[in-house]
Structure 1
Amino acid sequence: MYPQTLTKPQLQAGAWLVLALVLGGCTTDKDELLPHGQANMMDVWQHGTSGGGSGSSNSRMLLDARQELRRPLDEAQVVRQQAGAGTFTRTPHNEIYSQFKRLPNPDLVMYVFPHLAGTDPVPVPGYTTVFPMYQRVQYAMPGERTEEY
């Protein structure tokens, strides 16, 4: 009436069977799973960009666009490119002063009047203290704050 409990050897045999089935699933050959032909990447690229080798006007336009992209840069373009890249180049100066500017956190000055402090009232003279308005340093999103402070 009660279900039969498994013994330790039966549990071990079951565990080995499950392990063998799991490891057996990992023995697939990559060439069997992903078959490939003799074409290399250049052949695949040329076949895909030429529309299957049909020689259509689209392939001619694509070749013309490629030639346009391969043209050498003249002096003015080189200077413009270097000037534009300067804003994105990491230097010690722009690493410190990044595009996320610190927002102002004004100092508040507070005067503490003379008082008694502690369990045994000890007189504390009046003093002045300075603390920031905000607990944490706040940063602006790029473009939110442009003026220096």
Structure 2
Amino acid sequence: MPRLNLTDPRFKLAAYLAIASLIMLASGCSTSKDELLPHGDTTMMDVWDQGAGGSSNSTSSRQLLDARQDLRRPLQPHQAGALDDNARFTRTAQNEIYSQFKRLPNPDLVMYVFPHLSGSDPAPIPGYTTVFPLYQRVQYAMPGERTEAY
């Protein structure tokens, strides 16, 4: 049976790591609930005002409200046109029932197969007509793309 060597550097490192982890574990439980969440007569509005720069009647709070009001300015007339351009692509209850992506026409092609011989033991195949679509899959137009014939 191997003997435990207390002077081995690996043993010392493992011991230091164990002690450090126990200290960290014990320090995590050292705070109290009252210290972490103090009780008092302050409301959430008081906490909010304090975080926003003081009480609601101070000059810094007034400056903050003025800056927020500047951000809430109405749209300029030239910006309203850009919204109208995008309104065609916006989903609403009215246009939701209509498809924005129209199906592109997929015409049927008619092919006539002439009479022929087929197979390893040539068997006569009579001529016939078959119909198949031009495109393998259904194709869709982009919104606003023209779908009617030119």
- TM category (shorter chain) comes to 0.3 to 0.5
TM-score (structure 1 length as normaliser): 0.43
TM-score (structure 2 length as normaliser): 0.43
